[in-house]
């Protein structure tokens, strides 16, 4: 059974039309750091971007077996990534400066979180807030 103190076991994976450009944008807008990047030129086969102890994986949308399973980037709904931050106001300012489309401005939630919601340039929904549940702690 996994423990709460081990490395994360869940890694969101995203396909982008222009993953090479999005890597730079995610770094500038949200503060991700590139851990690994594999590919040929502008085609990113696999990249790993870290945010503290968390990580996302991404690549260029391609007509390969995985691409057929996950579908094309863009609409379709039901997709969102939440990122816990220490300072929602600073994250908001950085995202806004980088051109993130803010779809919900900073708000204080009744459960104690300060957060906002935005879109990346390819339409994925990102929420940033100070609510930071820990797997090893009681809810």
DSSP secondary structure letters along 9-21:
----EEEETTHHH
| N-term to C-term CA, the chain | 19
pTM: 0.85
* Each residue's pLDDT expressed in tens, for the chain with a length of 139 residues: 445 567 777 899 999 999 999 999 999 999 999 999 999 989 999 999 999 989 999 999 988 888 888 788 876 666 789 999 999 999 999 999 999 999 999 999 998 999 999 999 998 899 999 998 877 777 7
Between CA 126 and CA 107 the distance in angstroms is 15
CA distance 24 to 19: 9
Half-sphere exposure of 43 (CA within 13 A, CB side): 7
């Amino acid at each position: 059974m996994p423990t709460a103190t081990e490395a994360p076991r869940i890694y969101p994976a995203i396909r982008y039309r222009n993953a090479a450009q999005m890597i730079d944008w995610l770094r500038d807008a949200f503060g991700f750091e590139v851990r690994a990047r594999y590919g040929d030129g502008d085609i990113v086969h696999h990249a790993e971007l870290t945010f503290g102890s968390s990580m996302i994986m991404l690549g260029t949308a391609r007509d390969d077996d995985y691409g057929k399973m996950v579908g094309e980037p863009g609409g379709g709904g039901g997709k969102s990534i939440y990122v816990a931050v220490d300072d929602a106001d600073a994250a908001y300012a950085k995202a806004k400066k980088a051109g993130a489309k803010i779809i919900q401005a900073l708000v204080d939630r009744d459960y104690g979180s300060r957060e906002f919601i935005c879109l990346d340039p390819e339409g994925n929904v990102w929420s940033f807030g100070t609510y930071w549940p820990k797997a090893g702690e009681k809810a």
